[in-house]
């Protein structure tokens, strides 16, 4: 499979939805909550909920203040607070992000989630898992895994249309 075929967002969304449908089949739909990590994860979570015809809202997690590199990068002037329009206590959370790389974004997201309450479970869904992990975090559901050369990264553009592209550091 070529890199362009691997980065086909429609195919990846179909793959993620197929895996997710099987995973949530046994969960109580009244206790199922979707949370997207700002911004790409929110775009993907909304598409998943629509595609699976689920009757749930999507929470938006902005993890800027929870990052372990916050003191280095500072706050971006457009950082908005997280929006979770539901309780997380005793619920099954589907945490959605676009690309899993080092694991630090997911760690920050889970830290923030636990400030809101104690979920029954958290399942991580990503379109792409890429090389370069720094923390022992892996996706429960993943559209594709890719290896990238040093200096390359994957970026999700959107929201309409959603498209993934490989970029090179300058």
26, burial (CB in 10 Å: exposed 0-12, middle 13-18, buried 19+): exposed
pLDDT at 130: 93
Tell whether 124 is covered by a domain: yes
For residue 154, tell me if it sits in a domain. yes
Q: Does some domain include residue 85?
A: yes
User: What is the number of structural domains in the chain?
Assistant: 1
Q: Within a 13 Å sphere around the CA of 121, how many CA atoms are in the beta-carbon half?
A: 12
For residue 55, what is the domain's CATH number? 3.40.50.2020
pLDDT in tens, 129-141: 998 899 999 999 9
Answer whether residue 103 is part of any domain. yes
81 confidence band (pLDDT: 50, 70, 90)? confident
Q: Which range marks the domain in which residue 110 is found?
A: 3-72+79-160
How far CA 2 is from CA of 6, 13, 102, 146, in Å, comes to: 6, 17, 23, 11
Burial of 118 (0-12, 13-18, 19+ CB in 10 A): exposed
Tens of pLDDT, residues 19-53 = 999 999 999 999 999 999 999 999 999 999 999 99
pTM comes to: 0.91
For tokens 């950082």, the residue is 79
């Amino acid at each position: 499979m070529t890199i362009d075929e691997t980065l086909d967002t429609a195919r990846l969304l179909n793959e993620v939805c197929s895996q997710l449908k099987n995973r949530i089949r046994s969960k109580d739909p009244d206790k199922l909550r979707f949370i997207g990590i700002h911004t790409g994860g929110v775009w993907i979570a909304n598409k998943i909920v629509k595609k699976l015809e689920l009757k749930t809202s999507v929470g938006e997690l902005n993890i800027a203040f929870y990052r372990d590199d916050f003191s280095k990068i500072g706050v971006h002037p457009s950082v908005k607070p997280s929006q979770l329009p539901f309780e997380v206590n005793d619920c099954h959370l589907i945490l959605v992000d676009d690309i899993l790389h080092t694991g630090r974004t997911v760690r920050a997201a889970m830290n923030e989630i636990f400030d809101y309450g104690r979920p029954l479970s958290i399942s991580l869904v990503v379109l792409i898992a890429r090389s370069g992990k720094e923390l022992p975090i892996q996706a429960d559901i993943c559209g594709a895994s890719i290896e990238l050369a040093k200096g390359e990264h994957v970026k999700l553009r959107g929201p309409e249309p959603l498209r993934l592209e490989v970029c090179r550091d300058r």
